[in-house]
Amino acid sequence: MLEEVVATRYVTPLREGGSLPGIVEADDLGTYVMKFTGAGQGRKTLVAEVICGQVGRRLGLRVPELVQISLDPVIGLSEPDQEVQELLKASGGLNLGMDFLPGSIGFDPLAYEVSPEEAGRVVWFDALINNVDRSWRNPNMLVWHGDLWLIDHGATMIWHHNWPGAHASAAKPYDASDHALAPFRPDVTGAAARLAPLVTEELLTQAAADVPDEWLVDEPGFDSTDALRRAYVEALLRRAATIHERITMDAPSVPGPSQAPGWLAERLAPRPHPTQKSVKGDDR
């Protein structure tokens, strides 16, 4: 299970996120980015954050440590922002915390170089969890101490919003054309060879076990939280073996803007964008 801490002070909201996460301090003296059960996206966003974040960490990807944060709604009484105050009042009990990375900056593909090997691992992982929220529009990656860190996995495993169609949905291909790391010629084949054998039933079961029961109760079609956890395990286990064969990477839908200086754009311009329909082979 995730470590449980208690929120002691609400510091500030992070308005870049649609769910209005906030920075909080906790009784373990840690500082966390907190995602709330009372946010409009609902508890399934937190379930996805935990399962996918824990799978990523177990595969050796850089995902900030996750914790359960116990919140007393009284913490919001002195908050001057009415929207934030209502969110805190609606989120009493267990919420999700992600280790705050002080001094980190948002990833810019024109200002930070990524090797084909690392890009391949991230693209393969995103294909596994069907992450639709790692495009150049919204990379959801940070650079901290020179390393690439992955954040925000709430918009993944879209099949868990419609469990009757989960098997068909989990079998669909993954379009990486607009992925933020597509310009770095990701070595997906190599990543699959290294990572797919690690995605075992045991690893996925451990990741699913980290989700608090109260975020899983009363799911239609399941008579227990254990049965629901098993459904997550089965969907990801089926997908892991062959998803690398179904990753498509065409030209991006529209050109990606960048605020990087012109000389950086010129330096990276010679890198061709992947145009092959699939990244099965090693013919880059």
Q: Is the pLDDT of residue 162 over 60?
A: yes
Task: Quickly state the pLDDT bin for 264 (edges 50, 70, 90).
Answer: very low
Query: Where do the domains of the chain lie?
Result: 4-99, 106-141+161-268
- Percentage of the chain with pLDDT > 70? 87
pLDDT tens readout for residues 205-261: 999 999 999 999 999 999 999 999 999 999 999 999 999 999 998 866 655 544 433
Strand-pair partners of 98: 33, 66
Neighbour count for residue 11 (Cβ, 10 Å): 13
Residue pair 5/68 in contact (Cβ under 8 Å)? The answer is yes
Candidate from 70-79, 111-120, 156-165, 173-182 with smallest mean pLDDT: 70-79
> What number of other Cβ atoms are within 10 A of residue 254's Cβ?
9
* Burial profile 208-238: b = 16 or more Cβ within 10 angstroms, e = fewer: bebbbeebbeebeebeebeebbbbbbebbbe
What per-residue confidence (pLDDT) applies to 18?
63
pLDDT digits 0-9 by tens, 45-102 = 999 999 999 999 999 999 999 999 999 989 888 888 889 999 999 999 999 999 999 9
Q: What is the pLDDT of residue 17?
A: 58
Name which residue leads in pLDDT, 137 or 56.
56
Alpha helices, H only, 59-183: 82-89, 116-129, 166-170
Q: Using CA atoms, how far apart are residues 152 and 163, in angstroms rounded to an integer?
A: 22
Residue 88: count of CB within 10 angstroms of its CB: 26
pLDDT, greater one: 147 or 73: 147
Mean pLDDT of the chain: 88
Q: What phi, psi does 71 have (nearest 5°)?
A: -120, 125
